Amino acid sequence: MTDTVLVERDGRIAVVIVNRPDKLNALDHDTIQALRDAIVSLSADADVGAIILTGSGEKAFIAGADIGGLSKQGVLDGKANAQHGQALTLAMEACPKPVLAAIQGWALGGGLEMALACDMRFASTKARLGLPEVSLGIIPGYGGTQRLPRLVGAGKALELILTGDPVPADEALRIGLVNGVFEPEALLAGVRAVAEKILSRGPTAVALAKQAVRRGVHLPLAEGLELEADLFGMISSTAEMKEGMQAFLEKRKPDWS
Task: Count Cβ atoms below 10 Å from residue 28 Cβ, excluding itself.
Answer: 17
- 122 Cβ partners below 8 Å, 6+ apart? 100, 101, 102, 103, 178, 179, 180, 181, 182, 187, 190, 191, 194
- Residue 113 appears among annotated catalytic residues: yes
Beta bridge partners of 171: none
Q: What number of CA atoms fall less than 13 Å from residue 132's CA on the CB side?
A: 16
- Give the Cα separation of 136 and 110 in Å (integer): 13
Q: Describe the crossing of helices 154-163 and 144-152 by its angle, rounded to 10 degrees.
A: 140
Q: Which of 58, 113, 183, 228 is catalytic?
A: 113
Strand order in the sheet with 128-130: 60-62, 106-108, 128-130, 167-168
Q: Which of 133, 183, 228, 240 is catalytic?
A: 133
Strand ranges, E, within 76-131? 99-103, 106-108, 120-124, 128-130
- Residue 159 appears among annotated catalytic residues: no
Beta bridge partners of 8: 15
- Give the Cα separation of 156 and 10 in Å (integer): 37
Please list the active-site residues.
113, 133
